[in-house]
Structure 1
């Protein structure tokens, strides 16, 4: 499998996972808000942080592998 194709598949999976997370996020936060408003805030922060963490981890992995090589 070529590097471009695997990168496109990875990007598609990240995009699909993010889409699904943020589609269901309002319902998750409302349910968590019934337990505690702070729990809802924490879950929201974790969700947004996870979105950026995926790209941060990918950038670290690429840097360790020698950067973008084509």
Structure 2
């Protein structure tokens, strides 16, 4: 395995583990915040879910700029 491929695999693993942890604890976080403010609970939940996709979008942009496209 090349160092570049190893780096990509480690990055994907870290992102996957972080996503699993966020999704696992998401209901607890949203319910806890929702007891204070339901709107804030919704916003935090939506931001956490959208953050998952934002990470992949930013990673794709970074790789595209790195390759010079």
Question: What TM-score results when the alignment is normalised by the length of structure 2?
Answer: 0.91
Q: How many residues align?
A: 67
Q: Which one has the bigger helix percentage?
A: 2
Whole-Å separation in 1 of the counterparts to 2:45 and 2:28: 11
- Unaligned runs of 5+ residues in structure 2 are none
Deviations 1:15-41 (A, max 9, x none): 000111111111101101101110111
Stretches of structure 1 that go unaligned for 5 or more consecutive residues are none
Q: Which residue of 2 aligns with 1:42?
A: 43
Runs of 4+ in 1 over 3 A off after TM superposition: none
3-state SS of 1:55 partner: helix
